[in-house]
Each structure stands twice: as structure tokens, then as C-alpha cells.
């Protein structure tokens, strides 16, 4: 029987281990306190394992390896840059819209120094938070006023609570949407203190349905763009401009939850029936709410534009203080909107539109070139046709023809294991598994990421190195 006390006496002390040469570089990189804490945890875990009879010898090398892993896990960032090879342009789980380099550069400069987030350089006194962003929004959209909060759900909550608390909001049953994260329009209405008044049916709502529902307790008419699904076939809905006319007739504001927030005409990208910000304004909506990190291509934000009389009421609401955005979001959004001043250049510089604008021929050429490089390096890879999607709850019925690299599963390397290995990289690579192959759609892979992708695939799927060569 193992002498438990003898084993415990063999266990190195924290002071002994901290002086070991194996931890010199770790201490320099991550600090004495971090490494000491991990050593203490590892020693305690080993001591407990001896007491519980799950460890029968003290292996110092194994203990050192455990400490090394603990340090890496402690200092590892939870939010990492990744290579998105899924073909989903606005991938919600991967941060939606990637930022142009100019935006990233501006944000980095703002957050590392003091800044004018609430300081007026002309007067030398306190300034209005977000004034520059709001100026850009008004100029680019033609709206009377604008306001920025932390996401589109917050924008809707603020609008409904300010204008409709303890009053009814009339909305079509076919527009009571749920988006990612179980966010539902009815629940936002309930939270705001407004009362939901559903009209019409799931597939058919007429203007007369809204008009019959209007009463002395009606606070607003609500139009929700069903961006993440489509009702087709035997269906009917009310155009925004007609709802606006009805609102004007009864002196009721019309709130438009646009969601995606495109500033461009999307027809050149073969995206149909996806209304933009300017469409909402042209229809006369009193308030329009949309996201910053979808088709706008910027940071997460809830953007509100519309009639000044209503925007000013939202701005004065006490809830605005809780929903306001920070200096990083304001810096990113301002830099993003500045790019939009030159529309043609913006289409080239904003990654979302650069990705959507890639031709099929260009994608095939990229895929063929990369496949040739990989085959020359001993990786068996194919080029396959694929279907990219916009994602982010936008244009759900639109697919974009694309090309992907396809790594077939082998006895030595399954698709699931290959995907796991790529997720463990310093910059993880995220593809998708289809027909027992791990695919990498190039529409969402930046050109500057191609060399890294090649190196990673050679590492996990290339020929094994001969011992003599090693």
C-alpha cells in the first residue's frame, strides 16, 4: 500500500517551484503573482489527489506541465480575433461586422489617451456626448435629428417607454418577431410599460385593421421589418407610407423598427426587398431604429433617427443615461460614418460590402491558387462550390454563390478533430462541416489571412515530418 504521508512529503513547496528555471519566462511575461497563484493551485490539487487516492506518485515534470497550462488558461483572452471561413458575412457569434482598418486605428488612438467625449473645444466647457456622431447621421440620412444607444433593443425600449408608457401600441401579428438571443418584440413592449395591441393575422394585415384598433388610449403605430424571415404566398401587409398617412390622420407617431440599417441601395449586390434607412425616411416614419453592426458595418449600437420633436423627447428621458454608449463605441461609429461621406470609396473600404462585392470568378481564382499551394505542400484539398449568406438577421432568403476549400476527412483526421485543432490556434480558424468535409468559404476570409490559413492546414493535415528531417 502506498505511504500517503511519504508522498505528501515528496510534494515540492510553492517556494521551491517558483525558483525553478521552467517558470523564469512565465514570470517575466505574466508576473510573479499570476505564476505563484497557479503554482499554489496546482500543488493544492495534487495534495488533494494524493489524499483521495487518485494519485500514487509525485511526478515533478507533470506538476510543472500542469502549472504551465494553468498559467496559459488564466491569462488567455476570452475574446479573440478569428478567421471567419464560415461564409456567413454578418456572423452574430463572431462579432457581426468587422471594422475597416481606419476605424480600428481611430478607436485605438482614442482609447489610449484622454479625449473629447464630453468636452467642447470651442467653449472650453462640457460638451454633448455623441454630438459628432449625431451630426454625421443627420448629414448622411437627411433626418431632422438622431440619437445613439447601446443596441437596437435599447433603441426600441427607449422609444416605446418615452412615447407610449401606459398606452397602447398597435402592431401587426405578422411582425411580432423574435431575433437572436430570444429577444422578442412583445417582451420589449411589456418592459417599456406599453400595452401591445395586435391586429390582423400572421399572414394578412390590412390598413383597416390598424384603423379599427385606434382608440383614445393609442400611443403609437409600430412597423417592424421582418428582416430574419419572410412570409410568402397568401399574404398581405401594410406599406410603411400608408401607415404613416394613417398616423398623421389620427395624430399618432409611427415608429419603424428597421433593424438592419443599410445606407446603400443593395440591388447591385442582388439583394431584393431589404429596405434601407433612406426608404424609411422617404416614407415619413417619425422614428426609425436600427443596428450599427449589421448592414451599416460598424460597432454594436442602436441608432435612432427621425423627427426632432420625438428624438428630443427620447434624449431627455431618464433611461437615456443608462442606455448611452461609451467613448469606444462613439469613436468607432464616428469613424465609420466618416467613411460613408464618399459612397463609392465606402463600398470598397467597408468589409461587409467588399465581401458581398467579390465576383464569383475572383473567388474561384483565390480558391484555385490556394488549393495549388496546399497540394504542393502535401495537403489533399479540393475546391468546391459553396453558398455564403449575409447573416445577422438580414436577407434570410438570399444566398451568394461562392467557393470554398474542402478538407476531406481521413482515417487519421476526422473533420470534427480538424475543426477542433483549428479552434485551438492562437488565432482560431472557424470553418463549417458538410458531407464529412471541413470547408473554408473564401468570401469571408480576408486576403491577408490566406497565408495563415495555408500554414494552419499544413500543420494539421500536411505530411508528417520524417525523423531524419527533424
Domain residue limits, the chain: 4-75, 83-90+353-461, 101-344
CA dihedral (283, 286, 291, 296) in degrees, to 10, reads 50
The pLDDT of residue 392 is 73
Helix (H) or strand (E) holding 324: none
The pLDDT of residue 137 is 97
The pLDDT of residue 143 is 97
Residue 249 and residue 410: Cα distance in Å, rounded? 68
DSSP 204: B
Cβ atoms within 10 Å, residue 153: 22
The pLDDT of residue 325 is 96
Question: How many residues are listed for the chain in this entry?
Answer: 470
The pLDDT of residue 467 is 47
User: Within 13 Å of residue 245, how many CA atoms lie on the same side as its CB?
Assistant: 7
The pLDDT of residue 238 is 86
The 3-state DSSP class for residue 294 equals coil
Cβ atoms within 10 Å, residue 232: 7
Instruction: Say how far residue 172 (Cα) sits from the centre of its chain.
Output: 28
Rg (CA), the chain: 28
DSSP 174: G
Residue 264 and residue 252: Cα distance in Å, rounded? 29
C-alpha cell at 249: 390622420
Q: Could you read off the pLDDT tens digit of each residue along the chain, which spans 470 residues?
A: 668 888 889 999 999 999 999 999 999 999 999 999 999 999 999 999 999 988 888 999 999 999 999 999 999 888 999 999 999 999 999 999 999 999 999 999 999 999 999 999 999 999 999 999 999 999 999 999 999 999 998 999 999 999 999 999 999 988 887 665 556 777 887 788 888 899 988 788 999 999 999 999 999 999 998 765 555 656 688 899 999 999 999 999 999 999 888 998 888 998 887 889 999 999 999 999 999 999 999 999 999 999 999 999 999 999 999 999 999 999 999 999 999 999 999 999 999 999 999 999 999 999 999 999 999 999 999 999 999 999 876 766 688 999 999 999 998 999 999 999 999 999 999 999 999 999 999 999 999 999 999 999 999 998 876 544 54
Residue 464 and residue 278: Cα distance in Å, rounded? 57
The pLDDT of residue 228 is 54
Candidate CATH numbers 3.40.50.2020, 3.30.365.10, 3.40.50.300, 3.40.640.10; the one for domain 101-344: 3.40.640.10
Angle at 6 between CA 5 and CA 9, to 5 degrees: 90
The pLDDT of residue 145 is 97
Q: Decide: 404 and 367 in contact? Cβ < 8 Å.
A: yes
Alpha helices in 126-180 (DSSP H): 131-141, 152-164
Sorted by sequence, the CB contacts under 8 Å of residue 251 that are 6+ apart come out as: none
The pLDDT of residue 117 is 94
By C-alpha distance, which of 21, 71, 70, 25 is closest to 45?
70
Sorted by sequence, the CB contacts under 8 Å of residue 286 that are 6+ apart come out as: 244, 247, 253, 254, 255, 306, 307, 310
Q: Decide: 129 and 117 in contact? Cβ < 8 Å.
A: yes
Provide the total of helices (H) and of strands (E) in the chain, helices listed first: 20, 18
Residue 64 and residue 12: Cα distance in Å, rounded? 10
Pairing of the two strands 429-430 and 83-84: parallel
Topology (CATH level 3) of domain 83-90+353-461:
3.90.1150
C-alpha cell at 294: 449589421
Amino acid at each position: 500500500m502506498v505511504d500517503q504521508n511519504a508522498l505528501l512529503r515528496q510534494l515540492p513547496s510553492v517556494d521551491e517551484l517558483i525558483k525553478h528555471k521552467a517558470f523564469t519566462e512565465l514570470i517575466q511575461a505574466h508576473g510573479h503573482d499570476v505564476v505563484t497563484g497557479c503554482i499554489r493551485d496546482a500543488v493544492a490539487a495534487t495534495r488533494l489527489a494524493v489524499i483521495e487516492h487518485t494519485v500514487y506518485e509525485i511526478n515533478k515534470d507533470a506538476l510543472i506541465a500542469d502549472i504551465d497550462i494553468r498559467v496559459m488558461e488564466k491569462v488567455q483572452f476570452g475574446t479573440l480575433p478569428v478567421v471567419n471561413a464560415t461564409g456567413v458575412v454578418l456572423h452574430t457569434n463572431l462579432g457581426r461586422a468587422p471594422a475597416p482598418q481606419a476605424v480600428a486605428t481611430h478607436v485605438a488612438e482614442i482609447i489610449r489617451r484622454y479625449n473629447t467625449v464630453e468636452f467642447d473645444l470651442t467653449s472650453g466647457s462640457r460638451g454633448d456626448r455623441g454630438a459628432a456622431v449625431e451630426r454625421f447621421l443627420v448629414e448622411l440620412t437627411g433626418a431632422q435629428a438622431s440619437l445613439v444607444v447601446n443596441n437596437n433593443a435599447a433603441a426600441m425600449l427607449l422609444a416605446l417607454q418615452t412615447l407610449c408608457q401606459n398606452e397602447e401600441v398597435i402592431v401587426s401579428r405578422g411582425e411580432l418577431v423574435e431575433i437572436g438571443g430570444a429577444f422578442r418584440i412583445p417582451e420589449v413592449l411589456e418592459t417599456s410599460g406599453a400595452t401591445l395591441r395586435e391586429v390582423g393575422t400572421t399572414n394578412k394585415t390590412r390598413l383597416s385593421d390598424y384603423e379599427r384598433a385606434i382608440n383614445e388610449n393609442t400611443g403609437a403605430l409600430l412597423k417592424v421589418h421582418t428582416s430574419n424571415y419572410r412570409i410568402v404566398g397568401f399574404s398581405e401587409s401594410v406599406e410603411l407610407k400608408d401607415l404613416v398617412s394613417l398616423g398623421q390622420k389620427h395624430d399618432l407617431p409611427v415608429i419603424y423598427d428597421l433593424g438592419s440599417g443599410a445606407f446603400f441601395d443593395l440591388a447591385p449586390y442582388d439583394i431584393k426587398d431589404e429596405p434601407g434607412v433612406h426608404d424609411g425616411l422617404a416614407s415619413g416614419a417619425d422614428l426609425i431604429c436600427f443596428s450599427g453592426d449589421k448592414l451599416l458595418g460598424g460597432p454594436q449600437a442602436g441608432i435612432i433617427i427621425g423627427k426632432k420633436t420625438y428624438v428630443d423627447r427620447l434624449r431627455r428621458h431618464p433611461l437615456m443615461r443608462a442606455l448611452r454608449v461609451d467613448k469606444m463605441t462613439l469613436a468607432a461609429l464616428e469613424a465609420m460614418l466618416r467613411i460613408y461621406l464618399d459612397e463609392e470609396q465606402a463600398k470598397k473600404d467597408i468589409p461587409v460590402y467588399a465581401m458581398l462585392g467579390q465576383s464569383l470568378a475572383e473567388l474561384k481564382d483565390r480558391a484555385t491558387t490556394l488549393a495549388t499551394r496546399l497540394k504542393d505542400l502535401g495537403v489533399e484539398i479540393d475546391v468546391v462550390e459553396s453558398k455564403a449568406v449575409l447573416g445577422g438577421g438580414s436577407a434570410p432568403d438570399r444566398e451568394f454563390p461562392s467557393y470554398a476549400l474542402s478538407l476531406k476527412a481521413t482515417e487519421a483526421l476526422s473533420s470534427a478533430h480538424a475543426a477542433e485543432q483549428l479552434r485551438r490556434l492562437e488565432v482560431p480558424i472557424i470553418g463549417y462541416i458538410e458531407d464529412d468535409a471541413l470547408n473554408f468559404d473564401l468570401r469571408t476570409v480576408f486576403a491577408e489571412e490566406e497565408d495563415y490559413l495555408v500554414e494552419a492546414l499544413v500543420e494539421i493535415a500536411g505530411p508528417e515530418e520524417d525523423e531524419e528531417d527533424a
